[in-house]
Amino acid sequence: MPFTGEGEALWQYGSGWLAALPAGGMIRCERQQVPGREVAVPGSAGSNPVRINFIPPLHLSFALDASRATGSTLLSLTATSTTSTIMDLSKAHVLVTGGSAGIGRATAKLLIDRGAQVAVCGRNEARLRAVAEEIGALAVPADVSQESEVERLVETVVRDLGGYDVLINNAGIGTFATLLETTAEQMRQIWEINVLGATLVARESARHFVANGGGNIVNVVSTSGQRAGAGGSAYASSKFALAGLTQSWRAELRKHDIRVMQVNPSEVITEFFERSGRTQKDDPTKLQAEDIAHTIASMLELDDRAFITETTVWATNPSS
């Protein structure tokens, strides 16, 4: 009488699994939304590759018919997604940099309201923790321009959220001065956060995403990264750089099922202007941080077979 056993893979690495199974039997993988598909376990002992198709998220188990088993074999299972799926934000695990204010805070709050688990990072620990408690996020203080702090940030998020599949690369600062008045320190500070910091967080996140079969990176750039204005030497150049980095990362990471996207907000009513030494009037006809948060959520919810490479958001008819 055939013996049927239930089991789970012994080791998981990235999108692959290894399982010690009786050779010559049958394996059936059970996964969400797709009927089980049987594949034969090779009869000879050794290491044998078997490719299984699935719709993520994958819940891998197997049933064995070992009636023809001739020994044991080490089976290598490689899971490959062949059918697209829409991201369920209620199951998303998200890291938002610059998450204590403005666009970052609004995006974190919206995703949490949709059911996502979200970690926010920022340099001002007191402010970050207050915002995280208010919106229900995990607070991880970090300066993204410091490599060791970025490594710790990602390690903490992976540990405390059980991994993540979305990076909102939002941290950024700005100062504005004419070329004649721009200092080396201004250029250095802005580029270290807006360019180096974004790169470090993206790199560590991409390593995690590649190892886990896919993910999403949304770089918050600016219309200043499309067309620079007077006084924008430091800030605009950093945003042009981030736009270029977005294109490079997209070209590198698509083959790993990682969507690299870019959003370019025009002027948004946030604390950014005041912090950069400029004035801004509260104007309900101009963009609000929630508008950009909604844009980002919509980009993420697009079916996985497609992605929006870049989108620009303008106010419809601002009063000034």
State the Cα–Cα distance between residues 217 and 222, nearest whole angstrom.
16
| Residue listed under structure tokens 């993910």 | 215
What is the secondary structure of 100-154 as a DSSP string? TSHHHHHHHHHHHHTT-EEEEE-S-HHHHHHHHHHHT-EE----TTSHHHHHHHH
Token reading at 15: 């999108």
Is 72:22 a contact under the CB 8 Å cutoff? yes
Is 70:104 a contact under the CB 8 Å cutoff? no
Token reading at 38: 């049987």
Q: Which amino acid is at 259?
A: R
Report the relative pairing of strands 47-54 and 4-7 from DSSP bridges.
unpaired
Q: Helix 289-301 and helix 102-113: axis angle, to 10°?
A: 50
**Active-site annotation holder among 17, 54, 235, 249:** 235
What is the secondary structure of 180-242 as a DSSP string? GG--HHHHHHHHIIIIIIHHHHHHHHHHHHHHTT-EEEEEE--GGGTS--TTBHHHHHHHHHH
Q: Which amino acid is at 276?
A: S
Dihedral through CA 280, CA 281, CA 282, CA 286, nearest 10? -70
Token reading at 280: 């801004």
Report the relative pairing of strands 215-220 and 166-169 from DSSP bridges.
parallel
State yes or no: is 235 an active-site residue: yes
* Residues designated as active site: 235
